[in-house]
Amino acid sequence: MKGHATFVKSMTTEMYQEQQNHSLAYNQRLASQNRIVDPFLAEGYEVNYQVSDDPDAVYGYLSIPSLEIMEPVYLGADYHHLGMGLAHVDGTPLPLDGTGIRSVIAGH
């Protein structure tokens, strides 16, 4: 996927580490809240990831090679992001390396 190759090449080691640090901080804040938010029912709810300055930035890609699927993942499952690809559901941990992480990624 052309977009994925450009995405990977454009990220410096420092940018990647910064994203990881912000993602880890989000997951730690989340551990104390323990709630999943339905963005379509929560009126006036705003996602506060603090991972990127651009709310429409690609967070990563979901790859399923056996199905030849490579889709961008955005932060915040709203109509806008779901129209562009897959989206992380706020209130669930961000997908990071490790065990016991149960991220929810929405798409259609």
Task: Evaluate if residue 81 carries a pLDDT over 90.
Answer: yes
Amino acid found at 91: G
String of b and e for 24-45 (b: at least 16 CB within 10 Å)? eebbeebeeeeeebebeeeeee
pTM of the model: 0.72
* Percent of residues, the chain, with pLDDT higher than 90: 26
Give every CB contact of residue 74 below 8 A, 6+ residues apart in sequence: 56, 57, 58, 59, 81, 84, 85, 86, 87, 88
Per the model's pLDDT, the better-predicted residue between 98 and 102 turns out to be 102
Residue 52 CA to residue 12 CA, distance in Å, equals: 14
pLDDT at 25: 86
Owning domain of residue 87: 2-106
Q: Are strands 58-64 and 86-88 parallel, antiparallel or unpaired?
A: unpaired
Here the CATH number for the domain that contains residue 77 is 2.40.260.10
Q: How many domains in the chain? A: 1
The answer to whether the beta carbons of residues 63 and 6 sit under 8 Å apart is no
Find the radius of gyration of the CA atoms of the chain: 14
